[in-house]
Structure 1
Amino acid sequence: MIIIESKRKKPATILKKYPNAILADVTSGAKDGLVKLSPFYPHGGIPVPFSEGYTATCVEAIWQGLKVFEGADVDIQMFYNDTMKNIKRTVRRFGKPLGHRKGVNGTELLGYIEARKQIYIPAYRWVLENKVAGIIERLREASKTKTIVLLDYDTNSDVENAKKPLSHASLIKAYAEGIYPYDDVDVPHNKVSENIVLQLDLFNQ
């Protein structure tokens, strides 16, 4: 079983609710291999949706780089940020956000929810499939016999909810369970031996 909880909660509070659970921090602040699941992690080579020839270091760089404001258009330099820092483009600096450009050279601006569906969610799926497949398989197998609690700063799993940021942990859970949003492709479930080593590998691959 995979559960999502706020990283802001005390571990003791979570473990009281889910005794013997494995707490898995999947934020950029993770101290183990699970940091690779963060949208800020600089895997590199991530294709920018609707932008042939462009790749980015991380998913968040794509999301921020394609954002358009009253005072600023697309920022392709954001695609090259590999520091896991300063990957936010703010209203205070650039003015009211107008949407996300559908590709670096696109003419269409996508609304917030549509941008989630066409930019963020596909880009993050690419990372899950091409950069962290081993971690996801271990997570999937471990969740069959253990309770895995994914810790994220955001816990909103409703793609249509524009009032709260979408939890990337919810996308990890959905992918591991074969129900990734806006995708009809079944996720293969390969057999992996379940033992204590698997639990340790989950955090260090």
Structure 2
Amino acid sequence: MASLTAAFPGAEVIDVTSKAPEPWVRLSPFYPHGDIPIPYSDGETSQSVEGIWQALKVFQDSDVDPAKLRITTMKGLKRTVRRHGPVLGHRAGLDSDRLLPYEEARRRIYLPSYRWILEHPVADLVERLREKEDVVLLDYTTNGDVTDPASPLSHAALIQLHLEGRWPDEGDEVGASTRTTGRTL
């Protein structure tokens, strides 16, 4: 944190990771808000955005895992290739036969799920961030480019894009790039 303070003098550094203090921890995709609609799954909900992402992930040796949708502890959500084999894609809904490739899954599953929490259970925090003048959002990664599969998406970068009105495309224009130009770390 000291290095961030030195790099961005005068900025307020706000941790938005799953280790953040209240209220900012509520911006973590691991946070169990409950009642988050699952894309392509009418009437089905999840406790967390990460629960949706992990539940719909399909591996060589393991299909969807609806149990991930009910986790409320922010722990035990991850599903790994070490345990389940290579990732084949993400199901387009709990009962679908259709597998979405990685970028399309980011656009059609992760982005709408995370945007939903920004617009509903944490809309108050989003407004508080809008009112601040110089803020650096702390996350584990800085990747705000949906088309870059080299590292996980940074939800801090997504928060910034949301605040700036530059939310990445969630629809059919797969391949359109949105890059973060601000001060999200």
Q: Distance in 1 between matches of 2:50 and 2:42?
A: 18
Letter aligned with residue 158 of structure 1: D
Q: Distance in 1 between matches of 2:45 and 2:127?
A: 25
- Secondary structure of 1:173's counterpart equals helix
Letter aligned with residue 170 of structure 1: A
Q: Distance in 1 between matches of 2:47 and 2:111?
A: 16
Q: Which residue of 2 aligns with 1:69?
A: 59
Following TM superposition, by how much is the alpha carbon of 1:183 offset from its aligned partner in structure 2, in angstroms? 6.1
8 Å contact kept, 2:108–2:170:
no
Q: Which residue of 2 aligns with 1:28?
A: 18
8 Å contact kept, 2:35–2:45:
yes
Letter aligned with residue 174 of structure 1: L
- Secondary structure of 2:143's counterpart equals coil
Q: Which residue of 1 aligns with 2:154?
A: 167
Letter aligned with residue 131 of structure 2: E
Q: Which has the higher contact order (CA 8 A, sep 6+)?
A: 1
8 Å contact kept, 1:18–1:147:
no
- Secondary structure of 1:174's counterpart equals helix
TM, length-normalised to structure 2: 0.90
8 Å contact kept, 2:112–2:170:
no
| Superposed counterparts of 1:176-191, under 5 Å | 176-182=163-169
Q: Are positions 1:157 and 2:147 aligned together? A: no
Structure 1: gaps (5+ residues): 1-10, 185-205
Q: Are positions 1:132 and 2:119 aligned together? A: no
Q: Deviations over 1:5-64 (max 9, x none)?
A: xxxxxx221111211110100000002210000000000000000001210000000000
**Structure 2 residue corresponding to 1:53, chosen from 18, 21, 43:** 43
Q: How many residue pairs align between the two structures?
A: 171
Following TM superposition, by how much is the alpha carbon of 1:182 offset from its aligned partner in structure 2, in angstroms? 1.2
Larger gyration radius, structure 1 or structure 2: 1
Share of identical aligned residues, percent? 53
Q: Are positions 1:123 and 2:126 aligned together? A: no
Q: Deviations over 1:129-159 (max 9, x none)?
A: 01100110110111xxx21000000111111
Q: Which residue of 2 aligns with 1:79?
A: 69
Structure 1 runs of 4+ off > 2 angstroms? none
Q: Which residue of 2 aligns with 1:188?
A: none
**Structure 1 residue corresponding to 2:88, chosen from 98, 101, 104:** 98
